[in-house]
Structure 1
Amino acid sequence: MSEDNILTPHGWIRGRLVHQHGKVTAVEGSPCNPADNDLPYLLPGFIDLHVHGGGGKDIMEGTDAFHTITRTHVRFGTTSLLATTMTAPVDEITRVLGEIGTYCESRPTGTARVLGVHLEGPYINPGKLGAQPNFAHTALMAEVEEYLRLAPIRVITIAPEIAGHDGLIRALSERGVRMQIGHTLGSYEEGVAALAAGATSFTHLYNAMSPLHHREP
């Protein structure tokens, strides 16, 4: 069996992977500097939490597009991803979430695994749409509950300054949904309050957000 430069939690080693039935059972080798040899590099697959498309296809196009997108991403090292939706009318989001939910239950050979959904909108500030279409609206728990029944929603991008969103951030965070601040005109104080309520990260930090101001840093 050939050797590779293998990236491990403890650094690079020169050696080989031992695997059985599709699972790695051992990593054998010794520490190395990969610059000292011409061996191939072997490292864990990437997990991408924000994927709108690939290979000329968009997630919002539905099932046929998913095959192209997941085959494209796995070619470049992304082995798992979150299918990321656009801000769209409710019926369009409902349709694509149903199709993603079905797709998540299978993993066609030679594709990246779809771990679930990143719902980027529609719960964003219409004043900071960025590249999102103008279908933003306030989140309602009943609507989110319906979406959760259709597909495993792992991440939601939300503008915390919109009335009612603070309670939604807290409730969904407690249920294991990662709430990300994004597409927002919120103040620093509203951002801090969202983090205290359970938001854990940001969607494209500083992009489509309130700008810095000398009196409102």
Structure 2
Amino acid sequence: MKTSGVIEGHILTPEGFVQGVLAHEDGRIVRISGDPVEERVVRHTATDIVLPGFIDLHVHGGGGRDIMQGGDAAQRVASLHLRHGTTSLLATTMTAPLSDLETALTALGPACRERQRGSARILGVHLEGPYINSGKLGAQPNYARPASMEELKRLDALAPIRLITLAPELHGNLELIPSLKAEGFQVQIGHSLGTYEDGVEALHLGAGGFTHLFNAMTGLHHREPGMVGAALAHARYSEIIPDLLHAHAGAIRVALRAIPCLYCVTDSTAAAGMPDGDYMLGRHKVTKCMGGVRLPDGTLAGSTLTMDQALRNLVGLGLELDDASRRVSTFAADYLALHERGRLTPGAWADVVVMDRQLQLKQVIVEGEAL
């Protein structure tokens, strides 16, 4: 179905804000016109704020459904997150037996090939494990195992795997990174007991970043810098969960100073957008209470964060709006080489969020379709 439309407001382009008009047709931006405007003006007038749609590379669930459930779960999850401004995402799996992963990816294949109306674009799969360290599971079930190219190709044939989290210190994982990159998989480090040296070597061999920085990895000590030290000293890209539960505001500020393209993810679970209660995260039962999601032993188990709140949290930490926008849109797109998403420019997909000056959502447009 052909669609077209015009959006007026303070529009964030790669060159800065303009006050003007964005026109889109057949799912693409065709024109942006207007006069430059300073950011300090943008937040202090009643004019709508127009930003790139949010991109979330770590989504386990939402709206009561978990990606590992298969069936129509992915569509339900993508619908919930679209209502919070996420126009594209990676459906993220849990560490699980091969049969469970096959069930999830069998359902994800059609969902990746065709976006359903009223849903965010599912760009592919983030395989968070099973190639992780059983000593740093976090909320992952203990089905950890070394990476297998044969298994990966079998799963990738069901649904496109765009991103793989692995622990480089596991036998064979480090040596496999160049082959994974050659096959087109983006690799990042997470759920790891590895050393600083392991992290540096993994980056040297082609790993692109880190999974939920600070969480489920060896911490920073001045004589043993650990994986956190490797990230802060060497990474260009890394995820972080800015719900202010997974990482203290001060730790987020440290990461912002150290990692040029630090980008935000939600690590959201089925509990996102839902009332307090019990939900599933893979094979685990988790409980949402007081804004967080936890296992029975109190371990944080994903989040209830949405990307619109992530943007507000970043601005609350003191970031300028254009910087915060890049960290919920552009940097994630760049990390996966998605040059037609994460920015408002002619030719790009018409993935747009319209917000008021309190940064509350007023409208979401995905590939030209207005929600």
* 8 Å CA contact retained: 2:68, 2:103: no
Equivalent position SS for 1:190:
helix
Which fold has the larger relative contact order, with Cα–Cα distance below 8 Å and residues 6 or more apart in sequence? 2
Contact 1:17 1:24 in 2 (8 A): yes
Which shows bigger deviation, 58-67 or 73-82? 58-67
Partner AA of 1:215 in structure 2: R
User: 1:79-90 counterparts in 2 under 5 A?
Assistant: 79-90=87-98
Q: Does 1:60 align with 2:65?
A: no
1:75 equivalent in structure 2: 83
Q: Secondary structure at the match of 1:195?
A: helix
- 1:42-89 Cα offsets, whole Å, 9 max, x none, are 111111100011112111111321121111111111100000000111
Do 2:9 and 2:21's aligned partners in 1 also have CA atoms closer than 8 Å?
A: yes
In the alignment, the residues of structure 2 paired with residue 67 and residue 140 of structure 1 have an alpha-carbon distance, to the nearest angstrom, of 29
Output the amino acid matched with 1:63. G
Quote the RMSD (CA, aligned, Å).
1.3
Question: Deviation of residue 36 (structure 1)?
Answer: 4.3
Q: How high is the sequence identity, in percent, across the aligned residues?
A: 55
Q: Which amino acid aligns with 2:171?
A: A
Partner of 2:10, secondary structure, is strand
Number of positions where the alignment pairs a residue of Structure 1 with one of Structure 2: 217
Aligned mates of 2:115, 2:180 — CA distance in 1: 27
Residues 38 and 193 of structure 1, relative CA distance in 2, 3 Å threshold? same
| Pair 1:22-2:27 in alignment | yes
Moved more, 90-99 or 204-213: 204-213
Q: Give the one of 48, 60, 65 matched to 1:40.
A: 48
* Deviation sequence 1:15-45 (CA, Å, 0-9, x none): 1112222221100111123134201111111
The answer for the alignment partner of 1:195 in structure 2 is 203
2:119 is matched with 111
C-alpha contact 1:7 1:42 (8 A) present in aligned 2: yes
Q: Which residue of 1 aligns with 2:172?
A: 164
Give structure 1 stretches of 5+ with no counterpart.
none
Is it true that 1:122 corresponds to 2:130 in the alignment?
yes
Structure 2: which 5+ runs fail to align? 1-5, 226-371
TM-score, length basis structure 1 = 0.96
